[in-house]
Amino acid sequence: MDKLKQHIQNNLHDLNIDQPKENFWDGLTDKIIGDENSDPFKEYIEQYKDEFDLEIPGEQGWSNIASTLSRNKPVIPINAKKAGWYLAAASLVLFIVVGALLYNNRSSVTRNGDDMVKTPSKTELGVPKPLVDDAMKEVAQGSSKTNDDKEQAGQGSKKVAQTDMKNDNVVTKRKLAVQKPGNKKLPSIIIETQAEYDNLIAGQVSLIQSMPLYGESAGDFAGFIDDFKRLDNQEKQLRSAVLQKGMEDNTLDELGMIYQKKLTVLKMLQREIQRTGNTTISENDSIPVFIKL
């Protein structure tokens, strides 16, 4: 044997220096299994894919999803570009609303005999179309939708609508109707006062519900909402007392006070939303959350 050949044969193992590239096996399997693009079985499945959706999920599915979603509202980051526009729009609306309220919100006091009546003048609020929530609609409009006073509320609203909305004249005082205890109808002055304040409060509620929330959830403003509901309960108790026992000297003052406090709570909530929005702008792109009172 050739000495070179003998040497090579004796050291064959050391001759295997090179290795095939990595993932060579993966390429090899294509040749064993067949080209990935020519899989007639896969093509058959894709052709009749729509016939595969045979199962129907249980009815409990959506209930579980809805309860989980309503438990944990997401905190959504904001878009810096859009935030500026939203803030500018919100500031403009706030400026207009506050200006209109300050200009028109004057009380007029007149006297007729022993009666003193204070009622606010009407004002026309240019508020955006509200995101209506049934629960808040009921709260804002009070519980005037009871069977007993629905008709009177309608009559009261009709009287209110007939007055001049654009003037800053106040509603003139009316002689208080003496209500005997046990009479189930609210006095017309109560109904008219309620109707006027309802317009103001509904306008404020609509404004707040249209303001975008950035980086916060509705639960962060729960304190304001609780205050508002507490005042609403006070209003209902007062009306109930009037139905039971009739009007007292300070009933209208108390009612006016409750309505003023409601408006104050709503304005404070509005300011807090704006203040929070100013401090939580981030660069992430997102859709804002809207509060539902």
Partner 1 sequence: MNTTDYILQALVKSAGEGQLTAQEALYRQYCRAMYNVCIRMCGNEADAHDALQDGFITAFRKIYQLKDPNTFGGWLKRIIINQCIAQGKKKFVYTQLEAPVIALAHETDESWWTTITMVQIHEAIKQLPEGCRQIFVLYAVEDYTHQEIADELQISTGTSKSQYSRARLLLQQIILKKMVANG
To the nearest whole angstrom, how small is the minimum distance from the Cβ of residue 133 to partner 1?
10
By the rule CB under 8 A, 20 interacts with partner 1: no
* 6, 64, 172, 264: which one binds partner 1 (CB under 8 A): 64
Contact between 100 and 124 under an 8 Å Cβ cutoff? The reply is yes
CA atoms of 48 and 233, how far apart (whole Å) = 61
Determine phi and psi for 78, rounding to 5 degrees: -110, 165
Residue list 257-286, contact with partner 1 (CB under 8 A): 286
Cβ 61 to partner 1 shortest distance, Å:
6
Q: Which is nearer to partner 1, 65 or 92 (CB)?
A: 65
What are the structure tokens assigned to 30, written together? 């294509």
Q: Which amino acid is at 30?
A: D
Strands, E assignment, 181-276: 212-213
Select the residue interacting with partner 1 from 2, 46, 114, 164 (CB under 8 A): 46
Contact region with partner 1 (CB under 8 A), list: 8-16, 26-34, 220-228, 248-256 = 26-34
Binding-site member from 9, 34, 107, 264 for partner 1 (CB under 8 A): 34
Q: How many CA atoms lie within 13 A of 1 on its CB side?
A: 8
User: What are the residues facing 120 on neighbouring strands?
Assistant: 107
Q: Which helix (H) or strand (E) segment is 290 a member of?
A: strand 289-290
Give the integer Cα–Cα distance in Å for 122 and 100. 10
**Residue 222 sits in the site that holds partner 1 (CB under 8 A):** no
Extract the tokens encoding 169. 């004249």
Residue 176's CB: how many other CB atoms inside 10 A?
Answer: 20
The stretch among 49-57, 142-150, 177-185, 245-253 that binds partner 1 (CB under 8 A) is 49-57
Does position 26 interact with partner 1 (CB under 8 A)? The reply is yes
Which stretch of DSSP H or E encloses residue 147?
none
The span from the CA of 65 to the CA of 153, in Å, is 41
Residues of this chain, 78-137, that bind partner 1 according to CB under 8 A: none
**Which of the residues 149 through 168 are near partner 1 (CB under 8 A)?**
none
| Interface stretch with partner 1, choices 68-76, 90-98, 139-147, 266-274 (CB under 8 A) | 68-76
Tell whether residue 73 is a contact of partner 1 (CB under 8 A).
yes
Contact set with partner 1 (CB under 8 A): 23, 25-26, 29, 32-34, 36, 39-42, 44-46, 48-49, 51-58, 61-62, 64-66, 68-70, 73-74, 76, 286-287, 289-290
